């Protein structure tokens, strides 16, 4: 178990550093994960999908979303009798 210093620094145990190839000077990311904190080496973030693969997956996801939206009912007509306008909500730039 590691302790936090008065400067809020943490020492990574040697066995963990060796297992995940974390070396002095490497950057790590602390990411909240519910009630826990995940420690992610910067190198691990870079590994993964290429830009082309990410774009392909994004395009596929957008196509699936468009298919789902085809089956959704369209919203009813916008009510204009609500007693106020959008412009009345914003008074920026006007003296109070």
Give the pLDDT confidence score for residue 45 in this predicted structure: 55
Q: Which residues of 2-20 are buried (b: 16+ CB within 10 A; e: fewer)?
A: eeeeeeeeeeeeeeeeeee
Query: Tokens for 33?
Result: 């994960």
Closest CA to 29 of 18, 17, 21, 37: 37
Q: In the prediction, which pLDDT does 64 show?
A: 94
Q: Would you say 22 and 16 are in contact if contact means Cβ atoms under 8 Å apart? A: yes
- Is residue 2 predicted with pLDDT exceeding 70? yes
Q: pLDDT category, 80, cuts 50, 70, 90?
A: low
pLDDT score, position 56: 93
| Pairing relationship of beta strands 36-41 and 28-33 according to DSSP bridges | antiparallel
**What is the pTM for the complete model shown?**
0.41
Which of 2-16, 20-34, 69-83 shows the lowest per-residue confidence on average (mean pLDDT)? 69-83
Average pLDDT of 24-50?
82
Residue 18's region, left for phi above 0, alpha for psi from -120 to 50, else beta, is alpha
Mean pLDDT confidence for 73-96? 71
């Amino acid at each position: 178990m590691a302790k936090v210093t008065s400067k809020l620094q943490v020492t990574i145990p040697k066995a963990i550093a060796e297992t995940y190839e974390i070396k002095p000077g490497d950057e790590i990311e602390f990411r909240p994960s519910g009630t826990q904190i995940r420690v992610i080496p910067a190198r691990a973030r870079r590994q993964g999908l290429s830009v082309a693969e990410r774009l392909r997956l994004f395009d596929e996801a957008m196509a699936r979303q468009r298919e789902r939206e085809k089956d959704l009912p369209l919203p009813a007509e916008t009510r204009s009798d609500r007693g106020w306008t959008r412009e009345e909500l914003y008074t920026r730039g006007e003296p109070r």
